[in-house]
Chain A
Amino acid sequence: NAGVTQTPKFQVLKTGQSMTLQCAQDMNHEYMSWYRQDPGMGLRLIHYSVGAGITDQGEVPNGYNVSRSTTEDFPLRLLSAAPSQTSVYFCASFEGYGYTFGSGTRLTVV
């Protein structure tokens, strides 16, 4: 099925560990983005990309890295996990008709 696929769905990390959240889309969308969802704060933009090789920071980029080597993939890297990064992470892609969101990754940092 066409759409945005995120892996893993759940993850528990220890403080200081690093990991990569995967995001892939098969709709050939140029624009992709990562959001984090926290209670009472809605979704906040972490990083986004307007095409392969182009990335930029969103509202809350600290502690996260991204890269966009292909149109399909947009991984999010946590460099050194902190408890403040406990959240639900959503990847999304955009084309003219609107956004498509992945099903999310629930990350807990202990």
Chain B
Amino acid sequence: GDSVTQMEGPVTLSEEAFLTINCTYTATGYPSLFWYVQYPGEGLQLLLKATKADDKGSNKGFEATYRKETTSFHLEKGSVQVSDSAVYFCALRERSDYKLSFGAGTTVTVRA
């Protein structure tokens, strides 16, 4: 079955540091890939997505590239802010299905 593995946290960074969260996946088909963000006390919001190989999703300074050869979708941001403190989830959805499969989530804390 489908599965998503992302790096374990928690991750603590200083403001303006570089952030990388690794995500790899296993899928039977050709999935769409997503990063969701959950700010404290809130629900999940879509951060970015990619639907085919070599697509780059980007939003709010975050980027992730769909790498089919390495089955990866790593999230990066060049200069984090305190407001980026949140839990980040990598997820996939097979084209033939509605269901989302999530990774375990990575808690990121950015200190001023």
Residues of B with C-beta under 8 A to A42: 4, 89, 102-105
Q: Does B46 contact A (CB under 8 A)?
A: yes
Residue of A nearest to B49 (CB): A98
Residues of A with C-beta under 8 A to B103: 42
A98 and B46 contact, CB distance less than 8 A: yes
A101 and B98 contact, CB distance less than 8 A: no
CB < 8 Å A-B pair total: 45
Q: Does B43 contact A (CB under 8 A)?
A: yes
Give CA–CA (A35, B105) in the complex, Å.
14
Give CA–CA (A26, B73) in the complex, Å.
32
A6 → chain B closest CB, angstroms: 8
Give CA–CA (A101, B44) in the complex, Å.
6
Residues of A with C-beta under 8 A to B105: 40, 42
B43 and A48 contact, CB distance less than 8 A: no
Interface size on A, residues (CB 8 A): 21
Q: A33-B99, A45-B99, A94-B98 are in contact. Are A103 and B104 (CB under 8 A)?
A: no
A48 and B104 contact, CB distance less than 8 A: no
Residue of A nearest to B44 (CB): A101
A88 → chain B closest CB, angstroms: 9
Residues of A with C-beta under 8 A to B44: 43, 90, 92, 99, 101
List 6 A–B pairs whose Cβ atoms lie within 8 Å, in order of A's numbering.
A33-B98, A58-B99, A90-B43, A92-B100, A99-B46, A101-B45
**Residues of A near any B CB (own CB < 8 A):** 31, 33, 35, 40-45, 48, 50, 58, 90, 92, 94, 98-99, 101-104
Counting from the closest, the 4 A-B pairs by CB-CB distance are A42-B102, A101-B43, A43-B102, A101-B44
**Residues of B near any A CB (own CB < 8 A):** 4, 8, 34, 42-46, 49, 89, 98-100, 102-105
